[in-house]
Structure 1
Amino acid sequence: MRLRGRKKGGRFLELLMEQAKYAVAGMEALSQYMKAPSDDAAEQVSRIEKAADETRRILIDELNRTFVTPFDREDIFALSLTIDDILDYAYSTVDEMVILKVRPNPYLQRMSSLLTEAAREIQTGVTELMDHPAVASDHAVRAKALENRMESVYREAIGNLFGAPADLEHVVDMLKLREIYRHLSNAADRGDQAANVISDIVVKRI
């Protein structure tokens, strides 16, 4: 059993890195949609989200069948979940923008750009987790800093939304945009949680 665990240890890292890679690709696709919305751009986000879901299913199956893991199985599960949630919110954002006929605006473009940067930091953090934990921790800190910047843009966007002249048409648009903003804010929160898990893993390995 121990031999099986050691053999599979690297597999968990591979799957987590694959998830993180999909997260970056998904955020890049989201940013592209915010720059030039189209059916093809929306479909690209959906394809990446589905591929990432499959990777997570494989990871969970491996986790259920493996006794020895490279670090706490709870941390593997949590890191996988938070990375997956980032993509889920990206998909929900685009899906609802299409359904509600919401057009991108500068706030959405800024938020998606920050999410892309944060996803890249998380990807690097996951990649360096075992061989260079101090480097991984540094990238986790950077990801958390980007979440703070994202939250500032979110608050600015909400303030601008509620500060505009109110008529019936504006109220409808306001409610639509508020939901879209919340999806992106939630994606940033999940990125922050992923960074926390990376930091926790590093601390436990010291």
Structure 2
Amino acid sequence: MGFRLTPQDTSFFSLFATSAGLLVEATRELTRFLEVDSSQWGQVAERMRALEHEADEATHAVIKKVNSSFITPFDREDIHALAANLDDCMDHIEETADLIVLYGIDELPFAIAEQFQILSRMAELTAEVMPRLRGLKDLPSYWIEINRLENQADKLYRKMLAELFNHSNPDAVHIIKMKGIIDGFEEAADSFEKVAHTIEGIAVKES
């Protein structure tokens, strides 16, 4: 990374760490769909809404900081992109969790447990990489692993879709509902990969 003569505002890194930490909480909360009775899923969705609200506040804080700071740690457009992509991860997770309750789903596909594990690991890696943004060091292993996990999520997504559509007694309404759930979690995985791509772009630009 090039030498800078001007001081940098490091509070951006704390805000990014906050956003990523909330994603870890959200993905851990997802597993409660598998641990509690479906009658309690509304409570899980409610907790997700609270986390999404906190994530929105963190995103707004980043945007406000960008607009009020003369010096930023890297390009403003990259800070905006990173904040927006982190927010997208939370939005997809919260929205899909809410749909589970709104659609009146009482049983999830068996393979969804593996999808939750993938999302949880993606969130953990994203949280772990945030402190390393300060020096932009030791980052390639992060985006390589995120890409591997996203490929794994893609394969699982296709498998769940195939099982859904190949059911011996298909119900059209059930298929539509479950496809919405499966799609939503796949979009969450895609968003984690977009975060990784953004960080990779920052590392290349600042090197």
- For the criterion TM > 0.5, the same-fold answer is yes
1:74 maps to 77
Determine the structure 1 residue equivalent to 2:118. 114
Following the alignment from structure 1 to structure 2, what is the Cα–Cα distance between the partners of residues 150 and 35?
21
Matched, 1:57 2:60: yes
Contact 2:109 2:160 in 1 (8 A): no
Find the aligned partners of 2:137 and 2:205 in 1 and give their Cα distance. Answer: 12
- Contact 1:79–1:198 at 8 Å: present in 2 too? yes
- 2:44 maps to a residue whose letter is A
Give, in angstroms, the shift of residue 42 of structure 1. 2.0
Amino acid at match of 2:14: E
Checking the alignment, whether the CA contact within 8 Å between 2:19 and 2:58 is kept in structure 1 is yes
How many matched pairs?
198
Tell me if 1:159 matches 2:162: yes
Contact 2:66-2:76 at 8 Å conserved across structures: yes
Contact 1:75–1:197 at 8 Å: present in 2 too?
yes
Gaps of 5+ in 2: 1-5
1:4-153 alignment, distance < 5 Å:
6=7, 9-36=9-36, 37=38, 38=40, 39-102=42-105, 103-131=107-135, 133-153=136-156
Q: Distance in 2 between matches of 1:140 and 1:73?
A: 21
Report the CA distance between 1:166 and its aligned residue.
3.8
Relative CO higher for 1 or 2, CA cutoff 8 Å, sep ≥ 6? 2
How far, CA to CA, are the matches of 1:96 and 1:75 in structure 2? Answer: 31
Structure ranking higher in helix proportion? 1
Contact residue 137 and residue 202 of structure 1 kept, 8 A: no
- Give 3-state SS (helix, strand or coil) of 1:106's partner: coil
The farther-off stretch of 108-117 and 179-188 is 108-117
Cα distance in 2, alignment partners of residues 18 and 137 from structure 1: 22
**TM-score, scaled relative to structure 1:** 0.90
- Contact 1:23-1:86 at 8 Å conserved across structures: yes
RMSD of aligned residue pairs (Cα, Å): 1.5
Task: For residues 15-45 of structure 1, give each alpha carbon's deviation from its aligned partner in whole angstroms, at most 9, with x where no partner exists.
Answer: 0111011111111111222432423222221
Q: Which runs of 4+ in 1 moved over 4 A?
A: none
Q: Is the 8 A contact 1:27 1:87 kept in 2?
A: no
Give me the identity figure in percent.
26
> Structure 2 length normalisation: TM-score?
0.90
What is the alpha-carbon distance in structure 1 between the residues aligned to residue 87 and residue 206 of structure 2?
A: 24
Distance 1:26 1:139 in 2: 20
Q: CA deviation at 1:137?
A: 2.6
5+ long unaligned stretches in structure 1: none
* More displaced 10-residue stretch of structure 1: 75-84 or 120-129: 120-129
In 2, distance between residues paired with 1:72 and 1:192? 20
Give the Cα–Cα distance (whole angstroms) in 2 for the partners of residues 164 and 29 of structure 1.
29
